[in-house]
Amino acid sequence: MEKINVLIVDDHYMFLKGLESIISEDSSLKIIGEARDGKEAVELANEKRPDVILMDVNMPTVGGIDALKTIIQDQPEINVLMMATDDNEESLMEAMKNGAKGYLSKHLLPDELLMFIRMVHRGEYIISGPLAKKIIEANTSTEQNTTEHEAGMQKKENVLTKREKEILSHVSKGMTNRQIANALFISENTVKNHIRNIMEKLQMNNRLTAANYAKNEGWLQHI
């Protein structure tokens, strides 16, 4: 199987080496370059043509957002995942508006990071942890009053089956389709079908966003 070529960008040497160590352990991924600021990231992106770029938002000289704009303008096919230590909503919105395929917290577990890289390479959009809740809240109509909002949430919950909630519970833990299938003693294809149905019912296009949504609303507490 052809490996996913990854460029990692961060001005903190220890964090950069941490990413290198984590990614190097996955046989499906290959690090093809490391950059310490946005300027170097743009140069390496043009030279190496990576499949996925993991890039810090806040860097000296040329920041992550500015580098993102240049990279996407020149190579829109590259999947850029921005990373940050906080959940600054303004940076999140700016990154997604300018072509980022995801915005990740630096507090991710290694398995989550590897999974997100593979997912974004498949064309999915990724927003991790509390960041996902911010996006959901930003897209919720401010014209609805609290009662209408709660009624709408309840209606969405009621359309999910117990099995679908079980699958979302496993998704929220960062498990892959295969791991979920093994845990629930069902086929991987069945897991995929359930996730597709969940996406349609909740009108979302990202499994982790759906899982975080359900978790934050308390739907998965008794699963």
29 and 107, same structural domain?
A: yes
221 lies in a domain?
no
Residues 21 and 36 in one domain: yes
Q: Domain residues for 182?
A: 141-216
Domain-terminating residue out of 136, 163, 196: 136
Instruction: Report if residue 210 sits inside a domain.
Output: yes
Lookup: tokens for 11: 């001005």
What is the distance between the alpha carbons of residues 40 and 30, in angstroms, rounded to a whole number? 19
Does 146 lie in the same domain as 109? no
* Whole-number pLDDT of residue 141: 41
Distance CA 51, CA 32 (A): 10
- 132, with CB counted inside 10 A (0-12, 13-18, 19+), is buried
Among 74, 109, 136, give the residue marking a domain's end. 136
Could you tell me if 21 and 101 lie in one domain?
yes
The answer to whether residue 27 sits within a structural domain is yes
Q: Are 152 and 108 in the same domain?
A: no
Question: Between helices 207-216 and 130-138, what is the axis angle to 10°?
Answer: 90
Query: Which pLDDT value is given to residue 132?
Result: 62
Statement to judge: residues 122 and 41 lie in one domain: yes
The answer to whether residue 167 is domain-embedded is: yes
Return the CATH number at 173: 1.10.10.10
pLDDT tens for each residue of 90-130: 888 888 889 999 899 888 889 989 999 999 998 888 887 66
Please indicate whether residue 206 or residue 153 has the higher confidence score (pLDDT): 206
The CATH number assigned to the domain holding 16 equals: 3.40.50.2300
Distance (Å, whole) CA 125 – CA 98:
13
Q: What share of the chain is helix, strand, coil (3-state, %, to 5)?
A: 55, 15, 35
Q: How far apart are CA 88 and CA 93, in angstroms?
A: 9
Which residue among 83, 110, 136 closes a domain? Answer: 136
Q: What's the pTM?
A: 0.62
Same domain, 117 and 51: yes
Span 47-85, pLDDT tens digits: 999 999 999 999 988 999 999 999 999 999 999 999 998
What the block records as the tokens of 41 is 């990231």
Tell whether 179 is covered by a domain: yes
Same domain, 75 and 34: yes
Number of structural domains found in the chain:
2
